[in-house]
Structure 1
């Protein structure tokens, strides 16, 4: 896969993979910011703004814009996550003039009219109300408050019934102005477009945006571990989540941690957790681990009368991994899996390639990352993975239990 770095006359950079086998162009873009930028008292701002992305721009109101979008054969979406606002566009290359024109309007001239605002806000509030009796949603809110305290990470991105009604069109315009600027922008393009055409399109789309964002500083926070969070409900199944420290992609032991996670629970059917929890004891259909920027998470669901036993087994498996690390055979198998499955898992379509290229840029990877990745994984030694296991898994985890009390009695 040949990744080209394309730079426009105004200095806007995109990563491009040309693919002329199908007449489709996929574009992914991201602006630094996201739900962490929501002002206090107006939580849900970023999600509401994202929901209005195709609800009118320029001289087209909501209905007219979406009719034009259909005629152009294009799809557009925007999603606000905690640290970034992600956009995705898929268009027919033969109709790209119309699609690029509409995208330019959506990026540069959103209307933020009261009617669409009220409708999209009502949809979000309806989801919030619907989650008020959902044990897992209640537990998630409780969990975030427990491990992140008052940090913006503890807030759910959709906001609250109280915060959303206070968001005005003026608020949305100011928020858009602060976020949609060129210095916080990353772009990935995959499909039936060449570098010269893209170079011109970049300035057409993004060239009129402000040069600099005006973001509110958000300090880093590490999750507070070593605590038990329970949300007790009389449920037939208990959900368990355990959190240990995570590793950032820039850390020198990142690939050792990636391999550790694959051995522990990331490789679904061959992991240690799957072997001990599912294969040997049949306690759960699913058990897995995931490595994130700030946590290594283990999740599973089991019959409620088996929850204490399952939790004990998970902790024993992790404790053994922390003390002894993986075997040489496990490491060899994990390297083979992570290198061999990468193209299938991450690069299976033009959309997934664009998503992956965007993610690499956000995490400050070089354009030749895909070529270097296999070598970086291959160079990791057993000693390094054992060191990562001891470093990450020796901590006392934070534990979330959703279901009947583990002791079998209501408090």
Structure 2
């Protein structure tokens, strides 16, 4: 490992943990009109950028599923006058860390670098974003990696459950298919398809930026224009809202294994819904708090039907789900499914007791500062807040929103959000006494 790389790793390991109240966010606008949220932290000579572009894999044409994912995987495989090897060597020499991620609703770009190498690293990132090479040798190599992942997912019961649930819930929307694409669609992608995906996804009209570390607002503004000013102004049109199409019932996919993987859920609640915070706190009590949750207590601790079970809210850009998951031996899966139904119905009718609510609020407010454990994480939080439409004061007010949730709020929201009659269970395995069909 080079001396520069050692210094970079050392910087990562000694970053201070800021108190939530001390996270002061500045809104910075570049001379060219690009906006970013900045948290200055000059005590360590290190800076992190997190850039999100709304749209993501949703922008894939139906016959080109996987194009955005493959395109993002190629951005560090050569840019401008550097091929893949030269780009990797330049990144190593600068002790920089780049990240390129694909999600259904967005793509993300990250860079973490020491201050002394900041400008040069951002010029390198600029080349990757503006002038990717998409050399055929790199396309073939990364395509093979994606195809290997698709093949592995086809043998993974958890991935089978996830893709089955998505296809049933959103049959007429990109959410209904894996963002990685299929063997057929990925194999057919051409360099022109990747260029089109690049032009559609990385544009200034859907860009959100978080920056943290040793950089001032005065220095950040011009750097934003250098890094991002040459991106296209406008990208592909947004996709329509997803229609949730799945009713209550059971779908069994045969898989030779001594245990079954179970993914269950129904339509959820959007992030901008006024009832989101009560739903968030309610879910923590129901299935989001590990061994303290109601699902874990009754399904694992009381009956020994699983090693672990949990539930979680999934508020996407165009449609929301409320999901949960567990695994159980084939002879116990049917019983576990029935217990989950009963618990879901009980909380929908009766809510939760006040002691559980107080414990949940104490945990959720106490755990929140632990998310701010480094510049990269803070930059990601800043970008994510903007993508979700949260105010610049969200970090300072978030715990107040949690503490404001009352037992009456939980009762009302549980009755509204929990839909025991619409719970659908996707079971991958060979469960005894369960078959595909209605409740």
Normalised by the length of structure 1, the TM-score is 0.95
- Kindly tell me: are residues 207 and 233 of structure 1, through their superposed partners in 2, closer, same or farther at Cα, counting changes over 3 Å? same
Q: Does 1:213 align with 2:235?
A: yes
Which residue is equivalent to 1:358? 383
- Kindly tell me: are residues 349 and 148 of structure 1, through their superposed partners in 2, closer, same or farther at Cα, counting changes over 3 Å? same
Q: SS of 1:305's equivalent? A: coil
Which residue is equivalent to 2:133? 111
User: For 1:374, which of 376, 395, 399 is the aligned residue?
Assistant: 399
Counterpart contact for 1:135–1:231, Cα < 8 Å? no
Deviation at 1:349, TM superposition (A): 2.0
Counterpart contact for 2:43–2:214, Cα < 8 Å? yes
Residue by residue over 1:208-234, the C-alpha shift from the partner in whole angstroms, topping out at 9 and shown as x without a partner, is 112222235333322523132111223
Matches of 2:112 and 2:435 in 1, distance apart? 53
Task: Map residues 260-409 of structure 1 onto 2, 5 A cutoff.
Answer: 260-293=282-315, 294-344=320-370, 346-394=371-419, 395-407=421-433
Matches of 2:414 and 2:84 in 1, distance apart? 52
Deviation at 1:408, TM superposition (A): 6.8
Range with greater deviation from structure 2 (133-142 or 37-46) = 133-142
Deviation at 1:50, TM superposition (A): 0.8
Where does structure 1 lack aligned partners over 5 or more consecutive residues? Answer: none
- Kindly tell me: are residues 360 and 45 of structure 1, through their superposed partners in 2, closer, same or farther at Cα, counting changes over 3 Å? same
Where does structure 2 lack aligned partners over 5 or more consecutive residues? Answer: 1-22
Which residue is equivalent to 1:88? 110
Range with greater deviation from structure 2 (321-330 or 223-232) = 223-232
Normalised by the length of structure 2, the TM-score is 0.90
Task: Map residues 126-165 of structure 1 onto 2, 5 A cutoff.
Answer: 126-165=148-187
Residue by residue over 1:55-80, the C-alpha shift from the partner in whole angstroms, topping out at 9 and shown as x without a partner, is 11111111111111111110112111
Matches of 2:435 and 2:173 in 1, distance apart? 33
Matches of 1:232 and 1:48 in 2, distance apart? 31
Range with greater deviation from structure 2 (347-356 or 195-204) = 347-356
Matches of 1:249 and 1:142 in 2, distance apart? 24
Matches of 2:150 and 2:75 in 1, distance apart? 21
Deviation at 1:410, TM superposition (A): 11
- Kindly tell me: are residues 9 and 133 of structure 1, through their superposed partners in 2, closer, same or farther at Cα, counting changes over 3 Å? same
Counterpart contact for 1:244–1:392, Cα < 8 Å? no
